[in-house]
């Protein structure tokens, strides 16, 4: 009876282990492929971040560029109700407290799913928004004025860079990196990458449409976000062979593989 009881307790665990091994075998690329894709992704984001410092220095002295005004008026020229609702909804998820709930929920689900080091790295990626807060204090650029464009709601904080765009460039960008490097090619992987890319792009568009950031604020956030994303990826790759090496999903036991 005791042996039967123990077997009954072990069966669910064995089933979970078999399922995790199946995921590793069928859905997860080998470490060599993951590292190659990671290097390609890092190169891309580092190139995208090269102009951030220059833009930040100029933004400190210039309230907005003529191009900012033209782009905002062009974007706000369209008054379709569906578009306005879409822009509002995308921006809404970037405000507190919903953005904190989203980050914590995603990190928790990733940890429970077995990708534990990836979950911690995602939290590091999301924390990059605090770097943006520091830059806001240093640059201290005013947000768009209602005298120039339509402003959905006047916010008191500095405009450069956009915190919404920075947060989702960091978090969604890192999730896209994980999907690109960990998952084997499939319709699901492609759909996930497209969805994350659209979210990052629409977040910037929504901030301009609602008149709460200039185009240059948004571009500054994309650049700074790319830089923080590159740093997060560096930390992730450094820690992958050191922490949670034998985690349930996407382990990395081949620590010395070239």
Task: Read off the pTM.
Answer: 0.78
* Per-residue confidence (pLDDT) for residue 195, from 0 to 100: 96
CATH number, position 154: 1.20.144
pLDDT at 8 over 70: no
Q: Is 213 domain-assigned? A: yes
pLDDT single digits (tens) 93-105 = 999 999 999 999 9
Q: Is 210 domain-assigned? A: yes
Q: Is 104 domain-assigned? A: yes
Confidence category of residue 45, pLDDT binned at 50, 70, 90: low
Q: Is 244 domain-assigned? A: no
Q: Is 83 domain-assigned? A: yes
Q: Which domain holds residue 57?
A: 32-239
Report percent pLDDT > 90 for the chain: 54
pLDDT at 256 over 60: no
* Per-residue confidence (pLDDT) for residue 9, from 0 to 100: 47
Residue with tokens 């979950």: 119
Q: What is the mean pLDDT of residues 165-189?
A: 92
pLDDT single digits (tens) 139-159 = 999 999 988 998 988 888 889
pLDDT at 5 over 90: no
pLDDT at 221 over 90: yes
Q: Is 186 domain-assigned? A: yes
Number of domains in the chain: 1
pLDDT at 75 over 90: yes
Nearest to 159 by CA among 141, 171, 133, 177: 141
pLDDT at 257 over 50: no
Q: Is 155 domain-assigned? A: yes
* Per-residue confidence (pLDDT) for residue 200, from 0 to 100: 96
pLDDT at 174 over 50: yes
* Per-residue confidence (pLDDT) for residue 258, from 0 to 100: 35
pLDDT at 161 over 90: yes
Q: Is 254 domain-assigned? A: no
């Amino acid at each position: 009876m005791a042996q039967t009881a123990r077997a009954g307790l072990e069966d669910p665990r064995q089933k979970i282990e078999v399922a995790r091994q199946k995921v590793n075998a069928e859905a997860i690329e080998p470490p060599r492929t993951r590292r190659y894709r990671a290097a390609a992704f890092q190169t891309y984001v580092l190139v995208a971040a090269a102009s951030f410092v220059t833009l930040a220095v100029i933004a400190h002295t210039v309230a907005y560029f003529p191009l900012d005004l033209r782009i905002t008026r062009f974007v706000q020229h369209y008054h379709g109700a569906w578009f306005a609702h879409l822009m509002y909804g995308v921006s809404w998820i970037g405000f507190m407290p919903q953005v904190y709930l989203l980050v914590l929920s995603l990190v928790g689900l990733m940890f429970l799913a077995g990708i534990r080091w990836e979950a911690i790295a995602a939290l590091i990626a999301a924390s990059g928004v605090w770097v943006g807060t520091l830059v806001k204090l240093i640059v201290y650029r005013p947000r768009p004025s209602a005298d120039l464009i339509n402003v959905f709601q006047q916010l008191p904080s500095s405009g450069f860079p956009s915190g919404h765009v920075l947060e989702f460039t960091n978090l969604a960008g890192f999730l896209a990196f994980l999907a690109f490097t960990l998952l084997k090619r499939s319709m699901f992987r492609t759909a996930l990458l497209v969805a994350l890319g659209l979210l990052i792009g629409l977040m910037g568009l929504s901030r301009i449409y609602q008149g709460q950031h200039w185009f240059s604020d948004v571009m500054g956030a994309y650049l700074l976000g790319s830089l923080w994303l590159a740093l997060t990826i560096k930390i992730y790759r450094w820690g992958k062979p050191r922490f949670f090496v034998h985690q349930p999903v996407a382990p990395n036991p081949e620590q010395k593989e070239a």
